[in-house]
Amino acid sequence: MLKYLFKRLLHGLFSIIMVVVIVMILIYSLMNRQLIFASDPLYAKRLNNAKYTYRYSKWEEYGYLDYVTYADYLIDLTVKGELDEETRKSAVSFGRTADKDTDIVKEYVAEFTEYYESRGYTVERLDAVMINPKKVADGGQQQLYAYKDIPLINRLVKYFTRLITVDNVNNVKDDIEDRGLTFTLFDPLYGGKTFSPAIIGNGTTHKYLLYFDNQFPFIHQNLVTINLGTSYSVNMGVDVFKTMTSPQGSFVLSEITFPTGFTEMSADNLHTATYISGSMTGNKVNEDRFDTDYTNVDLFRSGFSKMGYSFVIGIISVVMSYLLGVPLGILMARKKGKLLDKLGTVYIIFIIAVPSLAYIFLFKAIGGSFGLPTTFNMDSASKLMYVLPIVSLALPSIANLMKWLRRYMIDQQNSDYVKFARSGGLTEGEIFTKHILKNAIIPIVHGIPASVLSALTGAIITERVYVVPGAGNLLTEAINKYDNGVIVGVTLFYAVLSVLSIILGDIFMAMVDPRISFTSKSR
């Protein structure tokens, strides 16, 4: 069994990698990369040559290509010691056009061109754009740079190696004292007297690597970070995973004592502090509150995360649909051809045939006429706003469960074991609950992990119609805003969940039905 599982996991891993490959080909090679600037106000402001260089530097940031300017190249040489500072200074200012270069510039420009062209880069030199013979136009400074598209393999390797990062005491590049980890049983944030174990790092990116607090799931860690990909336009510069999991809503203020002893009403979550070089000194606000450069904190917010909202709504509707769908399906099978069965069939046809958008709007209209809130408001304390999204999600899955369970149970009714049970004198009720259901429920059990895990990804239409701030719309939003990092990240997340749910479904099925075995020894 273990060997089989391992093989399945490997297969799943292969599928996941291939999915990422396909998505990367789709978005990095097939889509028009000019489109990423569609919602960038800075790009529209750039003029002339600055527009080109801005474009390349952005494309580099978001992984399309590798981009090096002439100045970067010279600095690199200086760092390596092949060039002294004096020569660098005289070599760096190249002329407005190529024939105005000094001899030393000519020499280094030729070297730069040769160095990068031999590595497959395209070297471009843009002459200065002049308004008049003396004055350079806005953004029209001369430019010299080289760029090269990143090959798929490199991009893939880079993506997967960056996927999981473990915090390390050498992460901070600055010269700081006492690098290392401290383990304490009394978290200093709680005054150092209450029992609350924590691991505090110095030199790590996060200050608190492990800590307890009063929020679910009570124990938190910052040691391992998942980086699914940086967002560009959906949530500027923030990782997809963080976008999905960080809380939303209005700030929650509470009395907070900062490391310097300063106390105020604040929403700062000091446990999330990360290092920002030189952020404390010279900044009055930070100097008053912090004693180290670990000043970048997240804020306490009142709402759940995107994934949190999706999951709460999703999981309640999943539970509801199993609680209602399974008994209704059984009833339909028992009363086959009777009124209840016919009503159920009408309902199933309605859900299958009517476009999902249409019936969600219908539920919204019906619910609204009963006075239920039809839009979601994060700051509202009312739990009623959850009702309509949950019902809208549950009703179609109830129909689906009813349809399949009825089908399976009716198929089982003609089996020999049912006839045998009946001839043995069992009542119809006993036959249904003890014999038929046990066999018919197996394919249903297979789908349970999938429905639970897919609650994490959210529902696109439902969340849009009821304005739920969930994760369901992340992918469509990212596609509409050409945010490649988010697209890759979300796809990877979906793929992992889907692979996991199939494997878990098989395990569940084998647990429920002892006849199913994944080892081939019986054959």
Partner 1 sequence: MDYDFTGCGYSEEELFSRVDHNDLESEKITAPRYSYWHSVFRVFFRNKLNIVILAVLGVLIVFAYLYPMFIEYDRYANLMDAESKHLTPSAAMEKFGYNIHWILGSGGSGQSTFDAMWNGAKISISLAFICAAINMTVGVLVGAIWGFSKKVDIIMTEVYNIIGNVPYILFISVMVMLFTASFWTMVMALTITGWLGIAYFIRTQVVIIRDREYNLASKCLGTSTIKIAVKNILPFMTSIIVTLLATEIPSYISYEVFLSYIGMGLKEKSLGRLIFESESAMVTPGWEFEFWSPVIVASIITIVLYVVGQNLGDASDPRTHM
Question: Which of 52, 190, 404, 494 forms a contact with partner 1 (CB under 8 A)?
Answer: 494
Distance of CA 335 to the CA centre of its chain: 46
125: left (phi over 0), alpha (psi -120 to 50) or beta: beta
Q: Which is nearer to partner 1, 136 or 461 (CB)?
A: 461
Q: Which is nearer to partner 1, 34 or 382 (CB)?
A: 34
Q: Do 314 and 455 meet the contact criterion of CB atoms below 8 Å apart?
A: yes
Residue 291 neighbours by CB under 8 Å, 6+ apart: 259, 260, 280
Looking at 128-136, 201-209, 415-423, 456-464, which segment touches partner 1 (CB under 8 A)?
456-464
Residue 508 engages partner 1 in binding (rule: CB under 8 A) = no
In three-state secondary structure terms, 195 is coil
How does DSSP assign 327-381, residue by residue? HHHHHHHHTTTSHHHHHHHHHHHHHHHS-HHHHHHHHHHHHHHTT---S--TT--
User: Rounded distance, CA 183 to CA 197, Å?
Assistant: 7
Q: Using CB under 8 A, which of 499, 505, 509, 510 touches partner 1?
A: 499
Q: Under the criterion CB under 8 A, does residue 285 sit at the interface with partner 1?
A: no
Please identify which residue in 4, 15, 96, 252 interacts with partner 1, judged by CB under 8 A. 15
Tell me the closest approach of the beta carbon of residue 29 to partner 1, in angstroms.
10
Q: Which range, of 234-242, 255-263, 274-282, 352-360, touches partner 1 by CB under 8 A?
A: 352-360
**Is residue 495 a contact residue for partner 1 (CB under 8 A)?**
yes
- Using the minimum distance from each CB to partner 1, give the nearer residue, 236 or 365: 365
Closer residue to partner 1 in complex, CB, 20/68: 20
Work out whether 413 is an interface residue with partner 1 (CB under 8 A): no
Window 414-433: contact mask with partner 1 (x via CB under 8 A): --------------------
User: How far is the C-alpha of 155 from the C-alpha of 147, rounded, in Å?
Assistant: 15
Q: 478, 27 in Cβ contact below 8 A?
A: no
Among residues 269 and 310, whose Cβ is nearest to partner 1?
310
Candidate list 46, 179, 407, 464; residue touching partner 1; CB under 8 A: 464
Q: Return the range that interacts with partner 1 (CB under 8 A); candidates 56-64, 135-143, 313-321, 358-366.
A: 358-366
Question: What is the maximum alpha-carbon separation in the chain?
Answer: 107
Binding residues for partner 1, rule CB under 8 A, total: 39
Closest distance of CB 28 from partner 1, Å: 11
Which residue, 34, 31, 29, is CA-closest to 44?
Answer: 34
* Nearest in space to 234 (alpha carbons), one of 39, 56, 470: 39
Among 5, 104, 365, 511, indicate the residue that binds partner 1 (CB under 8 A).
365
Picking from 243, 239, 307, the residue whose alpha carbon sits closest to that of residue 468 is 307
CA atoms within 13 A on the CB side of 157: 5
- Choose the stretch contacting partner 1; rule: CB under 8 A; options: 61-69, 108-116, 356-364, 503-511: 356-364
Q: Residue-wise over 189-201: b if at least 16 C-beta within 10 A, else e? A: beeeeeebebbbb
* Shorter beta-carbon distance to partner 1: residue 14 or 420: 14
Q: Which stretch binds partner 1 (CB under 8 A): 144-152, 398-406, 429-437, 459-467?
A: 459-467
What is residue 115's three-state secondary structure? helix
Does 352 participate in binding partner 1 (rule CB under 8 A)? Answer: yes
Dihedral of the alpha carbons of 360, 365, 370, 375, in degrees to the nearest 10: 70
Distance between CA 462 and CA 393 in Å, rounded? Answer: 7
Q: Interface with partner 1 includes 5 (CB under 8 A)? A: no
CB of 383 to partner 1, least distance (A): 23
What minimum distance in Å lies between the beta carbon of 18 and partner 1?
4
Q: Which is nearer to partner 1, 123 or 332 (CB)?
A: 332
Binding mask 19-58 toward partner 1 (x if CB under 8 A, else -) reads x--xx--xx--xxx--x-----------------------
Q: Which of 130, 224, 357, 511 binds partner 1 (CB under 8 A)?
A: 357
Contact assessment for residue 294 and residue 273, using Cβ atoms and an 8 Å cutoff: yes
Q: Could you say whether residue 480 binds partner 1 (CB under 8 A)?
A: yes
**What's the CA dihedral at 116, 118, 122, 123 to 10 degrees?**
50
Q: 22 or 176, CB closer to partner 1?
A: 22
- Binding of residue 459 to partner 1 (CB under 8 A): no
Three-class HEC string of 19-46 = HHHHHHHHHHHHCCHHHHHCCCHHHHHC
Contact residues toward partner 1 (CB under 8 A) are: 11, 14-16, 18-19, 22-23, 26-27, 30-32, 35, 349-350, 352-358, 361, 365, 460-461, 464, 475-476, 479-480, 487, 490-491, 494-495, 498-499
